[in-house]
Structure formats: structure tokens, C-alpha cells
Structure 1
Amino acid sequence: MTRPIGLTLAAIAILCSPTAALAASGVERLYILNCGEGTTSDVSRWTPGMNEGKPMDFVDSCYLIKHAQGWFLWDTGISDAVASMPNGLVPADPKATVWRRPKTLAAQLDQLGVKPADLKGMAVSHTHPDHTGNVEMFPSTMLYVQKAEYEWPGTNSEPRFKPSHPVTLLTGDLDVFGDGSLIILSTPGHTPGHQSLLVKLPKTGAVVLSGDAVHFKENWENRRVPAMNVSKDQTTASMQKLADTLTKERAQLWINHDKAQRDGQKLAPEFYD
């Protein structure tokens, strides 16, 4: 009997070791959710001095991440209410983007069996409405946002989130779960407190979710800064920070609004692990 007992004790020791604990932590999978589809009649807003009058299609992605410690949502997309608008959300500025909502965020979460109360945490890349449209679908979920973004006055100096929403204000990068697998990166420039997300997946490897630090591949490759960004210098510095992160982590860059890239990706209920 001594040998089987010895093996059992050894197995227990292995399971209780720090190495085993590390293996049981981390990001397990990532779902790409369709959080809006849009069209602009003039892409030159994003490429100053170029592409005058050229139309372009955009997408808007949200990302649901399953971590060993719980679910985490990155960005919430265009408001689900837009799904019921026959002509989409038409802006006052004719050069801005007309957004549509083919699938609601609520329906996609329901398909995956995830309830709003299941979220351990959430974050938005920034506070433009195509990224914050459904924040209040999760009224009790901790929201991670840069302090500079949170305090940035909204329309008519109104707050950008409900004061009752739980929030953790950041002043830089944050290792969300403390294990290096999900790291919020401070990347200001598009807005005062813009942020991106580094996700380390066990099989896919490292992925950086851009937010609007860059809008599409051509802008990334040429380091073009949209005219509406609050700071050209900060935007350029943030692009360099992302480039350095990609090199260091051997990561892929997933550009939030780039339709050509997203058309080649797996969308929920498929996932990346």
C-alpha cells in the first residue's frame, strides 16, 4: 500500500504547487462580438489630406474574454437600441459614420449563456458612443477607465458615465487579474484617456486590441492621425508603444474598426483560445 499512497501524495503535491496554480490561471478564450457595422461617405476625416469624398465601411467589435477568475468585457459597441432603427443611427454630420446594429450585444451574450451579472469586470477603450453604447447593461460590473477619460467633460459638460456605476480609475497600465494575461495599456491621443488591451491566449498567443489608437491597417502602416484626435503627438507615441508591445510580446494587432481584418476572423460563438 505504501507505493500507491506515495504516488497519491506526490500527485497532490504537484497539484498544489505554484506551477500548477499558474497553469490554472490566465485567459482561457476570447470571443469577438459584432457590436456594429457602419459606413462613412468621406474617409478623409481619418486620413487628413487624403481620400477626399471616398466612402468606406467600418465594423465595431466588442470582445468577451473568459479568464480563470471570471468573464471580462472589452468595449460595449453601438447601443442595442440602434438594432430597431430601419435606417441605422444617422449622424448630423454627413461625413460621419452611419451605424447599424445587425446583432444586439444582449442576444450574443445570451447565445453564449453569459448573463450581465456574470461579468467579473469590464473596460472601454474610450468614451465615444460606438464604444460605450451598452455600458449600463452591466450596472453592477466594475468598469476600468483612465482617470483622464473619466474626467473629460462630455456634451454640455455632462459626466460620461452614470455616477452610480462602480468604477476603478487608472493612471496608466493595469494588470487586471495580476497574472500578466490581461493588461490594459494606456494609449492616449485619440481621446485624453484612451486605452488598449493586451490579451495572452494559451494557443493563439498574444493579441493587442487597438481600440481607436488606430482605425484601420493603412493608418497603422503610415502612422496617420485622424483630424478629430485630441493630440497628434500622444497618438504617435501611443502607436509606438503598441509597436513596441507587439515586438516584445510577439503579438498580433487586432484593429477594432478594420473591416477587412475582421472579415477574416472567427466571430462568436466561435472563439480563440
Structure 2
Amino acid sequence: MKKAIGLAMLFFAVGVLPHADAEPAKSGVEKLYILNCGEGVAGDISRWSPGVNEGKSMDFVDNCYLIKHTQGWLLWDTGIPDAVAAMPDGLAPADPKAVTWRRPKTLAVQLDQVGVKPSDIKAIAVSHTHPDHIGNVELFPAAMLYVQKAEYEWPGANNAPRFEPEHPVTKLEGDRDVFGDGSVTILSTPGHTPGHQSLLVKLPKTGAVVLTGDAVHFKDNWDNRRAPSMNASKEQTLASMQKIADTLTKEKAQLWINHDKAQRDGLKLSPDFYD
């Protein structure tokens, strides 16, 4: 009898005494919102698919992804600058083959529609540092920025830094389990830029998805493993595509291609969400 009482007291002390109504603590991703972070028209998509599609135009989209985790909000990519929403003719590129971008909805307005203030977002991560992905980073001056060290230190135009020096940053050197529970993993996928990264997100009902960033720009390039001519490294690009393909197989994941309008048009956009 004394032994039984002693064991019960031990269980109570270490917090493992079972309870009929106890539920396991929940962790992981609760929701994923796809935000419209830009729409545009590419003048000549052969710059993304060398030797193919010469002179062919294509509609592009630019997505951001807002992820609600039990530990807080994470924003993946920040899109075209919100200021472009006030430009009637959009933002024209220096290279006519590239994309003329428009901003139908600002990022700030879309966050407000789902009841999120910029100050609520404690972490942001960007696939890479091209302007259509980092246009609104400074809407979140206190949010921890997750970026590959190789990308952060890659010199910008006139050797300018790619981010405000005072912005809090975690410089990665490879993959990173963001929340420590396997639900959101940054994948190092260099090639498009020196420190490009993609994101694996595991949702409780939808399952796993891989957000490509610009590891691939549209499905035809993915199917044919094409590396854009402007990429930093063709070899790294192809290796990163294979890494993504292996991840899709291992995790039974969907591939969500950031700029592919045909695919994006078949997905639910914010304020709807995936869970």
C-alpha cells in the first residue's frame, strides 16, 4: 500500500499522472494563407527557358505565404513593394523581356483582412533577394529574418547591402527546422541565386507542400528541368530541382510554383486558407 501511494506521488511530482480527459498538446502549423503579392506579364519567357519559347509572352503571378504556427506567425516572401499598387501602369523592368509588375492588393491590406498586424509577425523568411520577393521586408522591422548567409552577403547593386543592416537576421548555412517540430523547414536550394531557399510546410489536413521560391518559375521548366540563363549556377539549379523532387517523394508533398499563374488560379487565395 505504501509503495502504491509512493508511486502515485512520484507520478504527480513529475507531471505524468494520467487523466481521463487529458489531450495531447497541439503543435505545428494551423493555417497557410496564399497572398497576392503581385501580378504581371513577362515580355519573353525564353529568358527563363533558354532555346525554348522565343518571343512568347506569359502572365506571371507573385505569391507570398502567411503561415500560422502554434508558436507564432511566419511570412514567406514579401512580394512586390506595396507602393506599386499606386502606379497605374505598374512597374516596368529595364529589360523588356522581364516582367512588368502590378500590385492589385497591398500586403498590408491583405494582412488586415485576416486580422493580422505587421507587428504580429515575429519571423519572415525570403526565398531570395530579387526585388519581387523582398519588396516589403521593412514592413516588419522587428521580425527575425531567416536568409541563407550566402544570400545575405551576396553584394547588391554598387555593392549595396541587400537588407537594412539593423534588421534582425538569422544567417543560415543549409536547411533549418524553423520551429523545431518538423512542420516548417527551410530548404537550401541554391542556383537561381547563391543563397536561394525553398520551404517545406506540413499541414494537418492538406499534407505537405513545397513552396519553390524561384527554384523553378513555371511547370514546363520543372517538367523539363530547365535552368534560366540569368541563374547564378546551372549546376546548382539542377541539383536543387533534384533535391526538391526527392523531398516531394519522401514527404508525399505537393509542389507549389511561386510564379505559375495557371497553378495559382487553381488554389485558394486569402482570406481563404489551407489547414
1:21-68 CA distance string (max 9 Å, x none)? 3xx100001000000001012110001011111110000000000000
TM-score, structure 1 length as denominator? Answer: 0.93
Aligned alpha-carbon RMSD (Å): 1.0
Equivalent pairs, count: 259
d(CA) in 2 for partners of 1:95, 1:203: 40
Say whether 1:48 aligns with 2:50: yes
Say whether 1:68 aligns with 2:76: no
Equivalent position of 1:162 in the other structure: 164
Structure-to-structure mapping, 1:42-191, within 5 angstroms = 42-191=44-193
Secondary structure class of the residue paired with 2:91: coil
Equivalent position of 1:248 in the other structure: 250
Letter in 2 for 1:152: W
d(CA) in 1 for partners of 2:42, 2:147: 28
Q: Which runs of 4+ in 1 moved over 2 A?
A: 9-15
C-alpha displacement of 1:14:
3.6
C-alpha displacement of 1:13:
8.2
d(CA) in 2 for partners of 1:54, 1:14: 60
Letter in 2 for 1:54: K
Secondary structure class of the residue paired with 2:19: helix
Equivalent position of 1:11 in the other structure: 19
d(CA) in 2 for partners of 1:217, 1:265: 15
d(CA) in 1 for partners of 2:171, 2:144: 10
Say whether 1:38 aligns with 2:30: no
Equivalent position of 1:199 in the other structure: 201
Secondary structure class of the residue paired with 1:163: coil
Secondary structure class of the residue paired with 1:11: coil
Q: Are 2:49 and 2:226, in contact at CA under 8 Å, matched by a contact in 1?
A: yes
d(CA) in 2 for partners of 1:28, 1:270: 13
TM-score, structure 2 length as denominator? Answer: 0.93
C-alpha displacement of 1:120:
2.2
d(CA) in 1 for partners of 2:238, 2:40: 25
| Structure 2: gaps of 5 or more residues | 1-16
Letter in 1 for 2:137: V
Q: Percent identity?
A: 78
Letter in 1 for 2:185: I
d(CA) in 2 for partners of 1:156, 1:59: 29
C-alpha displacement of 1:203:
0.1
d(CA) in 1 for partners of 2:70, 2:198: 21
d(CA) in 1 for partners of 2:70, 2:129: 28
